[in-house]
Structure 1
Amino acid sequence: MIGMLIMSILLTIILIVLLVFIYKKREETETNLGWKVVGYFWLGAFAFKVNEIPLPLGFLLFLLLFRPVTNVKTKNRSAYLGLAFFLIMHVIFPAVERELFERPRDVVAASNNMFQVDFTNDWMTIRDQIKIDEYARLVYFRADYQKSGQIDRLSYYVVDVSEKGSVYYDINFSADTNRYIIRAEKIGVEGLEYVEFVEASRFFEVLDEVQVRNLSLEQPFEGYTLRFDGEWIKDANEYQQKYVILGKEIKTITRDQLPTEGYPINVCGKGKPYELPTGSGVANRCEANADFFFDD
């Protein structure tokens, strides 16, 4: 933001200098020429938006309707300078601002082990450094980890919901550097659809309180996938094992307690990696599932 402010100030100074230069290079004396130079500049810079796409309407009107008789070069230069200003403000500046906003940023992680990560602390560090709203919604979370807790992959998506323009954050953990890589993208009013999703802070609070190692299945596996989709659901599926998280306690949900409601964390147990038939790599088949429900 400071960088863009400095660029705006510099641009203003440059424009003033150029307008003065154009005025001094006038071909002849003309009444109120200074105001006319400024007027032609603003005509060339005038923009009209169609479906949020800016069009150089002022410059088009200049080409079609305006035929200067005196100081022709001076007025033409002013209009073309206005067009240049239009391109800078509506094409170049937004592209630079978007590039700066969406550039990857990184934050140090507390641990590379699912059983040791302080999720709330990591989230607060990310939130404070990247300037994410404290009520941001968690849209998706996935972690693949070994039976020892060692993280193979961890990523999640968060949306900072706002009527003025929401922001989508893609957060990926790098096991190589033990850092989170964060990428941001402005998604506008589309983010309002996530307003009913769980707050990210609540999800991480639940993980820290119950401890990931306790989100276990009936038998041990070589590895696990923990997945969360962010939405409150009502579930009556009696063929999948279900539990409810009550603070640090985990209680079984029996068939006679169905349907159940809440935010489900799905844990999948995986066996040893196996070669894919196509020869394109290895995979772990999900051999058992369980849902762990929590509420607000």
Structure 2
Amino acid sequence: MLIMSILLTIILIVLLVFIYKKREETETKLGWKVVGYFWLGAFAFKVNEIPLPLGFLLFLLLFRPVANVKTKNRSAYLGLAFFLIMHVIFPAVERELFERPRDAVAASNNMFQVDFTNDWMTIRDQIKIDEYARLVYFRADYQKSGQIDRLSYYVVDISEKDSVYYDINFSADTNRYTIRAEKIGVEGLEYVEFVEASRFFEVLDEVQVRNLSLEQPFEGYTLRFDGEWIKDANEYQQKYVILGKEIKTITRDQLPTEGYPINVCGKGKPYELPTGSGVANRCEANADFFFDD
């Protein structure tokens, strides 16, 4: 974008000089007037963050050049073109470049072998995500062997002005993550209480996904995490607490547990939907594993 800005500046100077040289008649301080009409045409006024060409509208309504009419009109219209480039074309190009899908290589396509912290750091460094980005949602569907069927998660890079939402999807076919970014502005502040993504992946690596198991084996599993701190775990039935590499059962007679819950559900064999539109796996049992920050 810097190179484009430099090129645009050079082009504008050349065009202003060209407009000045094409003047119809001699006029005192015409060079300054050409520049003034240009800036008038380029002047923008924002209403609810929407830029409006107020300067050009004022030119149309209030300014009636007497001498060098074509020269001054050309300068104002060049200003309008500059307004459109800076406030419409450039932002659209910048957004397109920013939101384009980008890829990162994964360490493994097996849930039991993935180095989540390493994969996260690879994505974070490659895409330039803040190290304190918050995890909003995580879901992985995998077979009893650990083979990943689907894995995706969302993180938010929080800022008071330009918070960024990242949609990260893993493909078992290519063994790569695809990352899509979207600027969400101040809306990102609502996720400030969510867990840091690095903390979540640290917990997964330390406890090991294969140890987040249920009382009986299933054909497949779904591991889901919603990012939010839960203050009262009474509503959760089968629950455990993660203490480093250890997992301890929370019994009903213990005090309510608070923390971030990772939900694991066990699924049976796929069955055909009654509508004939595909197959599904019903969650037959689940448990929640709590950790803190």
TM-score band, normalised by shorter chain: over 0.9
CA 1:238/1:97 → structure 2, altered by over 3 Å: closer, same or farther? Answer: closer
After TM superposition, give the deviation of residue 212 of structure 1 in Å.
Answer: 0.0
Task: Name which of structure 1's ranges 156-165 and 233-242 shifts more when overlaid on structure 2.
Answer: 233-242
- The secondary structure found in structure 2 opposite 1:169 is strand
| Equivalent pair of 1:235/1:258 in contact (CA under 8 Å) | no
Task: Quote the sequence identity (%).
Answer: 98
| Equivalent pair of 1:233/1:263 in contact (CA under 8 Å) | yes
Q: 2:142 is matched with which residue: 141, 145, 151?
A: 145
- The secondary structure found in structure 2 opposite 1:43 is helix
| Equivalent pair of 1:274/1:282 in contact (CA under 8 Å) | yes
- The secondary structure found in structure 1 opposite 2:258 is strand
Q: 1:233 is matched with which residue: 217, 230, 234?
A: 230
TM-score (norm: length of structure 1): 0.98
After TM superposition, give the deviation of residue 234 of structure 1 in Å.
Answer: 2.1
After TM superposition, give the deviation of residue 237 of structure 1 in Å.
Answer: 3.1
| Equivalent pair of 1:138/1:198 in contact (CA under 8 Å) | yes
1:97 aligns with 2:64: no
Provide, for residues 253-277 of structure 1, a one-character-per-residue CA deviation record: whole Å limited to 9, x for no partner.
0111242100000000000000111
Provide, for residues 57-77 of structure 1, a one-character-per-residue CA deviation record: whole Å limited to 9, x for no partner.
000000000000000000000
Q: Which runs of 5+ in 2 are unaligned?
A: none
| Equivalent pair of 2:236/2:288 in contact (CA under 8 Å) | no
| Equivalent pair of 1:217/1:269 in contact (CA under 8 Å) | yes
CA 1:162/1:239 → structure 2, altered by over 3 Å: closer, same or farther? Answer: closer
Find the aligned partners of 1:255 and 1:71 in 2 and give their Cα distance: 88
Find the aligned partners of 1:144 and 1:239 in 2 and give their Cα distance: 21
CA 1:193/1:14 → structure 2, altered by over 3 Å: closer, same or farther? Answer: same
Find the aligned partners of 1:35 and 1:293 in 2 and give their Cα distance: 69
After TM superposition, give the deviation of residue 235 of structure 1 in Å.
Answer: 3.0
After TM superposition, give the deviation of residue 164 of structure 1 in Å.
Answer: 2.7
| Equivalent pair of 1:238/1:255 in contact (CA under 8 Å) | no
Find the aligned partners of 2:193 and 2:158 in 1 and give their Cα distance: 10
TM-score (norm: length of structure 2): 0.99
After TM superposition, give the deviation of residue 176 of structure 1 in Å.
Answer: 1.0
After TM superposition, give the deviation of residue 236 of structure 1 in Å.
Answer: 3.8
- The secondary structure found in structure 2 opposite 1:206 is helix
After TM superposition, give the deviation of residue 159 of structure 1 in Å.
Answer: 0.3
| Equivalent pair of 1:142/1:225 in contact (CA under 8 Å) | yes
After TM superposition, give the deviation of residue 140 of structure 1 in Å.
Answer: 0.3
Provide, for residues 191-249 of structure 1, a one-character-per-residue CA deviation record: whole Å limited to 9, x for no partner.
00001100000000000000000000000000000000000002343661000000000
CA 1:56/1:132 → structure 2, altered by over 3 Å: closer, same or farther? Answer: same
| Equivalent pair of 1:23/1:74 in contact (CA under 8 Å) | yes
Provide, for residues 76-98 of structure 1, a one-character-per-residue CA deviation record: whole Å limited to 9, x for no partner.
00000000000000000000000
In the TM superposition, what are the counterparts of 1:193-272 in structure 2 within 5 Å?
A: 193-237=190-234, 240-272=237-269
| Equivalent pair of 1:238/1:258 in contact (CA under 8 Å) | no
- The secondary structure found in structure 2 opposite 1:198 is coil
* Pairs aligned (count): 293
Q: Which runs of 5+ in 1 are unaligned?
A: none
Find the aligned partners of 2:174 and 2:94 in 1 and give their Cα distance: 28
| Equivalent pair of 1:236/1:258 in contact (CA under 8 Å) | no
1:164 aligns with 2:161: yes
